[in-house]
Chain A
Amino acid sequence: MSTINLNGVSKHVDNRTSEPVACLSFARSIMLIARREFRDALSSKWFLLYTIAFTTLAIGVSFMSLAGSGEHGFAGFGKTAAGLLNLIMLVVPLMALTAGAGTIAGERERGTLLYLLAQPLSRTELLLGKYVGLAIALICSLCIGFGLSAGLLAWRAGGVGAGSFLMLVVFTSVLALSMLSLGVLISVQSRRAGVATGISLFVWLGLVFLSDLGLMAGTLLFKLRVQEVFALAIINPLQAFKMNVIVNLNASLDVLGPVGMYASQEFGASLPWLLTGVIVLWCVLPLAIAALIFRKRGGI
């Protein structure tokens, strides 16, 4: 028995029959699954709905930014980016969490997971392939929304502040990846797609609304110090994202009160790196845990 490797396809050769039995490399397996997942996502009604909703809202916010500028027409990139912040914090986590939650649990419920796992494919390859495919689909969806919004802004208000807008697109994509990781972790743990979606909605609610309320309540009850409030706030990737966007829009974190002032004074220029690090950690950690659980638990 011997193994040869040709263009990422390792061929396991049975010396008795000399017939090669193919086995794809790690990267090729991931790309193959990713491609299929991307195609499936594009044909999914949910994805289409989210894309239309996000695009419509993004264009709507761009138009509404006008009110703040006191002009008619579309406001500049910088103001629109600030206006989009709250929309992104609501819609993007919802899109990514639910997309991730449905991925493994959906295959499990349809019975297709067993069939895929019975193929020459490792569990890690399957999970990462699905993640990459969904990530590309999500980013494409966001780019359509941002792209149309940016096109209209450039047409009506010129390119001033386009850099900030581009940074917003990048940060939003990273936020989407982190929420997708969390969704995949939920999916790996759930037997049914409906349950996974329910849990993801609850997590979304927790991150978007409840964590803020909890932090406020905790601060009042336990008389937390400002550095403790800051530490607790940035644990939530949405808060880390919000602060990062505000910092990168060259705005002062003073708008966030004493916590923002503390963060600016304490971390200065390294604050964006700290906040980006938190969000990247949210991308990597849940996905790594999901892969570990998916591999260790076995079964379907």
Chain B
Amino acid sequence: MIEARHITKKFKRVLAVNDLSFDLQAGGSLALWGSNGAGKTTLIRCLLGVFPCKGAIRIDGIDVQRNGKRARAQIGYVPQELAFHDDARLGSAMRFFANLRGVELAQAARSLGVVGLSGHESKRVRDLSGGMKQRLALAIALIADPPIIVLDEPTSNLDSAGRGEVVDTLLRLRKQGKTLIFASHRPDEVITLADRVLVMEQGKLVQQTAPEVLWPSRSSIRSVRLFIEQSDEHEAAEILREGGFAVNHGNSGLTVAIEQHRKAEPMKHLAARGVIVRDFELMRDVSDNDEPEVTVRTEQVSEVLR
């Protein structure tokens, strides 16, 4: 259903997506996993044909760069945060998108019902909560019942209740046979929703695997940020990846997403290979945007490893 070949996108001197290829069959679910700046959003915009890029993307056989309009008709897009005219009422926004997609207005009403927003048609977009806006974006994406849903970190601005609602809706869509592509930096979402993960790092595809390979047990996943000499970070990421750890190497260093009971293992693994971990932070929750829960100083690291 989706074929992406050698996708490369450069912004001036920054290579945002670097020679990335993948395939996705109809009904499949693919997660783009990586830290901020990994290139997930840029890749999604390339898939939508919003960003021109090198390489070839075909959606259901349609060349996205040559016939973006037809390709986008196959896709429902959910952004990180819905950006639509704040003054518009929910009902008129739905009417606009129903007209744009060439579907009956009844389908717009049905779509609102699917995400639990029926009865809110007279509310203005600016009066909706973050969770409601996200559900509206999902309703708009579903309005024409497209076979593919593309989501760019759909839960990143939501609280846990809102996240749960969106994930439940996406699970239902998966069961209905929709093809999903979504960007996320939450391992729990990836485990729940995806059957394949593309691990992205600084625009490159560093791993393409199943979520259960990265996180064998489904116990709660924690993120541990490791502070290593900058010159050793790349090597450390490779060592951890070879060891089967789910690693993000971003601008803020290395972050390993790992089961709660195995938190010290990445440090042990690196220590065994002679890489010194100066410090580490245990992240409160992956969604809390890198807010550390506990910071343990260097002297404590050796204690943990002992």
Residues of chain B contacted by A120 (CB below 8 angstroms): 69-70, 72-73, 100-101
Complex interface: stretch among A108-116, A145-153, A285-293: A108-116
Residue of B whose beta carbon sits closest to that of A17:
B147
Contact: A300 with B74, CB < 8 Å? no
Complex interface: stretch among A21-29, A76-84, A171-179, A212-220: A21-29
Q: Is B294 an interface residue (CB 8 A)?
A: no
Contact: B79 with A19, CB < 8 Å? no
Nearest CB in chain B: distance from A296 CB, A: 9
Contact: A118 with B77, CB < 8 Å? yes
Contact: A9 with B102, CB < 8 Å? yes
Q: Is B22 an interface residue (CB 8 A)?
A: no
Interface of A is mostly: mixed
* Residue of A17, A21, A117 touching B50 (CB-CB under 8 A): A117
Contact: B84 with A118, CB < 8 Å? no
Contact: A114 with B103, CB < 8 Å? no
| Total A residues in contact with B, Cβ cutoff 8 Å | 33
Docked pose: A270 CA to B68 CA in angstroms: 45
Docked pose: A9 CA to B100 CA in angstroms: 10
Residue of B whose beta carbon sits closest to that of A114:
B50
* Residue of A36, A43, A115 touching B79 (CB-CB under 8 A): A115
Contact: B102 with A12, CB < 8 Å? no
Contact mask for chain A residues 40-59; partner B; CB cutoff 8 A; 1 contact, 0 none = 10010000000000000000
Docked pose: A14 CA to B71 CA in angstroms: 12
Contact: A14 with B100, CB < 8 Å? no
Contact: B69 with A23, CB < 8 Å? yes
Residues of chain B contacted by A9 (CB below 8 angstroms): 102
Docked pose: A23 CA to B62 CA in angstroms: 13
Q: With A119-B97, A120-B101 in contact, do A12 and B73 touch (Cβ < 8 Å)? A: yes
Contact: B60 with A14, CB < 8 Å? yes
Q: With A23-B102, A115-B79 in contact, do A12 and B74 touch (Cβ < 8 Å)? A: yes
Contact mask for chain B residues 44-74; partner A; CB cutoff 8 A; 1 contact, 0 none = 0100101110000000110000001110111
Q: Is A252 an interface residue (CB 8 A)?
A: no
Residue of B whose beta carbon sits closest to that of A123:
B68
Docked pose: A24 CA to B98 CA in angstroms: 11
Q: Is B162 an interface residue (CB 8 A)?
A: no
* Residue of B83, B102, B145, B147 touching A115 (CB-CB under 8 A): B83
Contact: B48 with A118, CB < 8 Å? yes
Docked pose: A111 CA to B74 CA in angstroms: 22
Docked pose: A277 CA to B135 CA in angstroms: 51
Q: Which of B48, B73, B74: most chain A Cβ within 10 A?
A: B73
Contact: B68 with A122, CB < 8 Å? yes
Q: Is A121 an interface residue (CB 8 A)?
A: yes
Residues of chain B contacted by A299 (CB below 8 angstroms): 50-52
Q: Is A1 an interface residue (CB 8 A)?
A: yes
Nearest CB in chain B: distance from A31 CB, A: 10
Q: Is B13 an interface residue (CB 8 A)?
A: no
Nearest CB in chain A: distance from B80 CB, A: 10
Q: Is B265 an interface residue (CB 8 A)?
A: no
19 contacts between A and B (CB under 8 A): A1-B60, A22-B73, A22-B144, A23-B102, A110-B83, A112-B83, A112-B84, A115-B77, A115-B79, A115-B84, A117-B50, A118-B75, A118-B77, A119-B97, A119-B101, A120-B101, A121-B100, A299-B51, A300-B51
Chain A contacts to B: CB under 8 angstroms: 1, 9, 11-12, 14, 16-17, 19, 21-24, 28-29, 32, 36, 40, 43, 110-112, 114-115, 117-122, 125, 298-300
Closest 6 A-B residue pairs measured CB to CB? Answer: A22-B102, A111-B83, A298-B52, A9-B102, A120-B73, A118-B77
